[in-house]
Amino acid sequence: MEELITRIHALLIAQFGEQVATIESSGLQPALVVDPALLPQVCLLLRDHEDTYFDFLSCISAVDDGIEAGTFTVVYHLASIPYNYQLTLKVVVPNDRRLDNLPSVPSVSGVWRTADWHEREAFDLMGVYFEGHPDLRRILLPEDWEGYPLRKDYEEAEMYHGIAIK
């Protein structure tokens, strides 16, 4: 796995320059932490390059890194079915916790169609805005729901349209 991530990192640096990504080797899986501005281009290269061919986006997760950290991390799990490779990408974005200023990441729904639903779920539950998404709206909660229930600072509502929730 370490050899694969090192090769992919070198490929990305050759294409986009040193600022494109760093290798994160702490944790359970090594990952590439990608510059958010380059995310769609990186994903397109990883999907189409003959040495990688990451043809499947299996999951997108959003992580609230905590109020003190002031960031969210969006995690992308990619797979190359023909090569039997797996890769984790991460994007770290600032978050000031205001609901009128959501953390923002470029959409990759133009690269993998499955991103459409995954990004909508991350938007709905964590409040991550995906720039360029074709239909970014709530997917699990009602459109008029206030807040994002998987955030660490979320306070549960007691009532919804006059109905007790707790």
- pLDDT digits 0-9 by tens, 104-150: 999 999 999 999 999 999 999 999 999 999 999 999 999 999 999 99
Can you tell me the distance from the alpha carbon of 47 to that of 42, in angstroms, rounded to the nearest whole number? 9
Please give the pLDDT value at position 28.
81
The alpha carbon of 57 is separated from its chain's Cα centroid by a whole number of angstroms, namely 11
Phi, psi at 64, each rounded to 5°: -85, 110
What per-residue confidence (pLDDT) applies to 86?
A: 95
Summary mean pLDDT of the chain: 94
Q: Residue 105 burial (CB < 10 Å; 0-12/13-18/19+)?
A: buried
Instruction: For residue 77, give both structure tokens.
Output: 């799990």
Q: Write the class of the CATH domain 2-164.
A: alpha beta
- 91 and 42 Cβ atoms separated by less than 8 Å: no
Tokens 């090192």 label which residue?
6
Place of tokens 């709530």: 138
Enter the pTM of the model. 0.94
Q: Is the pLDDT of residue 82 over 90?
A: yes
Task: Give the residue with greater pLDDT, 37 vs 99.
Answer: 37
Please check the confidence at residue 57 and state whether its pLDDT lies above 70: yes
Q: Say if residues 130 and 106 touch (Cβ distance below 8 Å).
A: yes
pLDDT of residue 1 exceeding 70, the answer is no
Please report, for residues 22, 25, 39, 49, the alpha-carbon distance to residue 104 in angstroms, rounded to integers and kept in the order given.
Answer: 20, 25, 12, 27
